[in-house]
Amino acid sequence: MRPIRELFYWVPNFITSLNLAAGSLAVFLGIQGYVGIAAACIVLASVFDFMDGMAARLLGAYSEIGKQLDSLADLVSFGLAPAAIATSLLQLAMFGTIRPLLEIEANWMQWFFLLSALMIPIAGAFRLAKFNLDTRQSENFLGLPIPANALFYASLAMIIEWGSNRAIEHLILNRFNLLTIIVIISGLMISEVPMFSLKFKNLNWQKNQIRFLFIAFCIVLAISLQLYALPLIILAYIGISVVQKLTA
């Protein structure tokens, strides 16, 4: 019986490994300019990230190695992968094309914009380290969760790859707008702003009212705006959390 029990502990770890594999693929593709497919890999990684936690809860298979593996996978999938996408978007914004970094001919200001993408994994690393040590985040979060950070950049990449609204594309492919996004989103990850969790412990309306309303809002937004709803959902999550803090 004990070997079977020990096998259970590797189920969530295996799923976490799939998260890491999808995130690594997103890095490889994102830095080469395949931002749409890289974004899809980030979405897949987020599904695996949700599934490994669910598997751990269902099987009671919590372990210290699983906790550390989860953080390492998240740093790649939700820290480094969106930075790769952001780097390619910045190249498109400034040069209209994507080239290997060592082949880019740019002035110091352009390099400043390109290297600003490094703030994403650095802030993500601090975010994960803080989450692992902070006992105040057992039910909700302090700071923007790193998967939300990654999904925001993934949503921008999907719009650029598969969207048809030129005005929105021009808005995204502006180096000053991208730099502002990087600074604000990275800052939110390491901030003390309370962010509500979407994990349900029960289906009680009073205890989960904000979660039910947010999910309903996301469904309506997705139906009405489709692809363009994705970044707005993340912004709405941030906005609702900030309003909750200001009105608390």
* pLDDT > 90 fraction of the chain, expressed in percent and rounded: 64
Domain 2-194 fold: Four Helix Bundle (Hemerythrin (Met), subunit A) (1.20.120)
Residue 93 one-letter amino acid: A
In tens, the pLDDT along 81-110 reads 999 999 999 999 999 999 988 888 889 999
Which H helix or E strand runs over 178? helix 175-189
CA neighbor of 80 nearest in space, from 46, 144, 31, 12: 31
The one-letter code for the residue type at 199 is K
- Of residues 205 and 152, more confidently modeled: 152
Let me know the angle formed at the C-alpha of 63 by 57 and 69, rounded to the nearest 5 degrees. Answer: 100
Residue 144 contacts residue 82 (beta carbons within 8 Å): no
Give the Å distances, CA to CA, from 60 to 57, 161, 220.
5, 41, 35
What is the residue extent of each domain of the chain? 2-194
Give mean pLDDT, residues 51-74.
Answer: 82
Show Cβ contacts of residue 148 under 8 Å, excluding neighbours closer than 6 positions: 195, 234, 237, 238
> In this structure, are residues 196 and 240 in contact, taking their beta carbons and an 8 Å threshold?
yes
Q: Please identify which residue in the block is written with the tokens 């593996």.
A: 69
- Three-state secondary structure call for residue 141: strand
Helix, strand, or coil here: 106?
coil
154-206 residue pLDDT tens: 999 999 999 999 999 999 999 999 999 999 999 999 998 888 887 766 667 77
Write down the pTM of the prediction: 0.91
Our CA angle for 246, 46, 89, nearest 5°, is 80
